């Protein structure tokens, strides 16, 4: 059996695109194969660099998506599922409503994969109208966190399944990173170095904690570059996976203070947990689902003092060791690729049989 996956693929390496590449690289279990439509390359538009929409271009691009979908469904009788991934913007929901209608015309099951925290994006009565309309054409809805699950259960009648992102086997660190004695010396963040990801809060905390080096890995926004920062801030820019793994292993803790509207489930946070780092996060997207109250501390958004207090609590080596071990166990038991990929195909099987 086959699934027709409609999603972004890098470049650029956004959240959906990175997840798509991981999925296509490892493949699906249980004899499921993937056909893919890459939204990034259709009509030459880069939705991450070119956020300003041209109606004519969007019409051509959207029409092309539907034409490709129709061609796949006509030519490949093995396709049972159409699985589309969106961050639940209004335009995306309108487009995918038609995508779902096309799937129904060919008697295929249709899955909407909400790659965001739905209530953070579908945050008005106007937007909820479009979500309800789209959900009427869905056989199943996949979500990334508990906030999205509760929202989808409330505003749709489709089957809703919470399935997290997955960590590949290669990202597990057999010997957990970080020091298990003495105070914290190195703290790391990986992702877009932007204010929305909480990096402005990190810069402020660093000024008041000169004894700690803060390592920020990722593309630095102009907004952050313009802010004054202390000498214990190190910017690395974009790095490859091997470099990131090495940097994680040289750190004592991981920060993820995001307040980014489109956040759903942080791969960077999962990779830090897989490396055995205790984590300090905001209660945003899937963060609290991931570390619970055992793998680190949850702090309010933009609260510098709360961040400093959480870091100081991690100066207890015993606590760091307990959190480190718990995070690795959590990743291996819930987020490892074999476990998560089987959840995808089990959901496919359930819908096909229903």
- State the Cα–Cα distance between residues 91 and 87, nearest whole angstrom: 10
Taking only the tens place, the pLDDT of each residue in 257-305 is: 999 998 999 999 999 999 999 999 999 999 999 999 999 999 999 999 9
Res. 47: pLDDT tops 50: no
Per-residue model confidence (pLDDT) at position 61:
80
Query: Do the domains at 2-166+336-353 and 169-335 have one common CATH topology?
Result: yes
Cβ neighbourhood burial of 284 (10 Å; 0-12, 13-18, 19+): buried
Per-residue model confidence (pLDDT) at position 241:
87
Token duo for residue 268: 């960077």
pTM for the full model? 0.91
| Helix 15-26 vs helix 267-274: crossing angle, to nearest 10 | 60
The dihedral built from the CA positions of residue 8, 9, 14 and 15, taken in this order, carries a sign that is: positive
Taking only the tens place, the pLDDT of each residue in 30-40 is: 999 999 999 87
Token duo for residue 78: 């093995």
Taking only the tens place, the pLDDT of each residue in 49-81 is: 455 667 777 788 889 899 999 999 999 999 999
Token duo for residue 45: 């538009």
- State the Cα–Cα distance between residues 121 and 131, nearest whole angstrom: 11
- State the Cα–Cα distance between residues 146 and 74, nearest whole angstrom: 37
Superfamily of domain 2-166+336-353: Glycogen Phosphorylase B; (3.40.50.2000)
Res. 338: pLDDT tops 90: yes
> Of 1, 4, 21, 24, whose CA–CA distance to 12 is shortest?
21
Q: In the chain, what's the furthest Cα-to-Cα distance?
A: 64
Share of the chain above pLDDT 90, in %: 84
Share of the chain above pLDDT 70, in %: 94
**Extended beta strands in 52-190, E state:** 79-86, 109-114, 140-143, 159-162, 186-190
What residue spans define the domains of the chain? 2-166+336-353, 169-335
The fold adopted by the segment(s) 169-335 is Rossmann fold (3.40.50)
Rounded mean pLDDT of 345-349? 98
Q: Which residues contact 11 (CB under 8 A, 6 or more apart)?
A: 17, 40
Higher model confidence: residue 238 or residue 50? 238
Rounded mean pLDDT of 148-173? 94
Token duo for residue 243: 């470099």
CB 275 within 8 A of CB 246: no
- State the Cα–Cα distance between residues 155 and 37, nearest whole angstrom: 28
- Interior angle at CA 127, CA 125 and CA 131, nearest 5: 110
Secondary structure letter of residue 23 according to DSSP: H
Taking only the tens place, the pLDDT of each residue in 187-198 is: 999 999 999 999
The helix/strand/coil state of 72 is: helix
């Amino acid at each position: 059996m086959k699934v027709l996956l409609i999603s972004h693929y890098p470049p650029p390496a956004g959240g959906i695109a990175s997840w798509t590449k991981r999925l296509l690289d490892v493949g699906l279990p249980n004899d499921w194969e993937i056909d893919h439509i890459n939204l990034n390359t259709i009509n030459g538009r880069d939705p991450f660099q070119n956020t300003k929409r041209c109606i004519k271009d969007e019409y051509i691009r959207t029409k092309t998506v539907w034409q490709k979908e129709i061609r796949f469904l006509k030519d490949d009788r093995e396709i049972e599922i159409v699985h589309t991934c969106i961050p639940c913007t209004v335009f995306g929901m309108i487009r995918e409503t038609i995508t779902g209608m096309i799937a129904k015309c060919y008697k295929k099951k249709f899955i909407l994969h909400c790659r965001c925290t739905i209530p953070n994006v579908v945050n008005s009565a106007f937007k909820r109208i479009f979500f309800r309309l789209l959900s009427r054409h869905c056989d199943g809805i996949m979500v990334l966190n508990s906030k999205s699950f509760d929202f989808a259960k409330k505003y749709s009648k489709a089957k809703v399944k919470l399935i997290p992102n997955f960590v590949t086997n290669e990202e597990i660190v057999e010997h957990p990173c970080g020091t298990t004695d003495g105070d914290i010396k190195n703290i790391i963040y990986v992702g877009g170095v932007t204010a929305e990801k909480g990096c402005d809060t990190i810069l402020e905390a660093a000024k008041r904690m000169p004894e700690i080096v803060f390592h920020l890995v990722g593309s630095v926004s102009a907004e952050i570059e313009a802010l004054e920062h202390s000498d214990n801030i190190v910017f690395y820019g974009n790095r490859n996976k091997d470099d990131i793994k090495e940097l994680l292993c040289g750190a004592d803790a991981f920060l993820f203070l995001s307040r980014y509207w489109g956040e759903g489930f942080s791969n960077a946070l999962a990779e830090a947990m897989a490396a055995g780092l205790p984590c300090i996060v905001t209660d945003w997207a899937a963060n609290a689902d991931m570390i619970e109250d055992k793998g680190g501390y949850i702090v309010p958004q933009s609260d510098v003092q709360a961040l400093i207090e959480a870091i100081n609590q991690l100066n207890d080596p015993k606590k760091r060791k307990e959190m480190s071990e718990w995070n690795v166990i959590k990743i291996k038991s819930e987020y490892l690729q074999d476990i998560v990929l089987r959840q995808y195909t089990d959901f496919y099987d359930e819908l096909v049989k229903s």
